Amino acid sequence: MKRQYLTRHEIEKIIAATVSGRHEIRDSCLILMSYIHGFRVSELTGLKMSDLDIESKTIFIRRLKNGHSTIHPIHDAELDLIIEWIKHRNQYLKCKNEKWLFLSQCGTRLTRQRIYSMIRNYSLTAGIQIFAHPHMLRHSCGYELANQGMDTRLIQDYLGHRNIRHTVHYTSGNSARFSRVWQNSWLASFADNRIFAKSILEAAIVSAQTSTFLYT
């Protein structure tokens, strides 16, 4: 079975490869946002300027496929890129009232095909060996959240899955979800007591050896 996600290192390489393109600011911004928010490509192209609230650092996520729409915080890692793209976006505007966040060089809404082509070309430039496509960024988001030990329900809400069965494959084989198991149990004090007991025993042994040396 072919791998359906990109690693963190591969995503970094793809974003770095945008310096070779004509639309570096736009492309690096949309790729990073796709990863952080787990966008489907149509959700990404459907982003509107009105979905952003830069002052409160939030973004409205309009999920498709009958998913649950929600509001995400804007991560510090993407905030500067978004602000930079909004400034740069004026150069793409052909119509003053254009509502879409990401525009083509013709000033219109980016197409799904353009983003598929973009990800593919940048992945080739970056020397990535697998056939990369935009939906892999969504899967990468899911696996990254699982690696952080996030609860399955939280990942479901974050990605907008209506059915949790679509979320479970991110967490089912991930050991990070068990990282907090036993954390606040009696075993923590048990371990501390064992260390304490060991130090007492070692001190007693040293004391006994010293006494033996003095009286022999």
Q: Please pick, among 138, 143, 158, 177, the residue that the annotation labels catalytic.
A: 138
Q: Is 170 a residue of the active site?
A: yes
CA-closest candidate to residue 93, choices 49, 53, 29: 49
Q: Please pick, among 26, 37, 89, 161, the residue that the annotation labels catalytic.
A: 161
| Contacts of residue 15, Cβ cutoff 8 Å, sequence gap at least 6 | 28, 31, 32
Q: Is 135 a residue of the active site?
A: yes
Q: Please pick, among 26, 40, 89, 177, the residue that the annotation labels catalytic.
A: 40
- Three-class SS string for 25-46? HHHHHHHHHHHHHCCCHHHHHC
Instruction: Centre a 10 Å sphere on the Cβ of residue 61 and count the other Cβ atoms it contains.
Output: 20
Q: Is 139 a residue of the active site?
A: no
Q: Is 177 a residue of the active site?
A: no
Q: Please pick, among 75, 135, 166, 169, the residue that the annotation labels catalytic.
A: 135
Q: Please pick, among 65, 99, 180, 194, the residue that the annotation labels catalytic.
A: 65
Total residues belonging to the chain: 216
Instruction: Centre a 10 Å sphere on the Cβ of residue 90 and count the other Cβ atoms it contains.
Output: 8
- Three-class SS string for 147-179? HCCCCHHHHHHHHCCCCCHHHHHHHCCCHHHHC
> Would you please indicate which residues are annotated as catalytic (active-site) residues?
40, 65, 135, 138, 161, 170
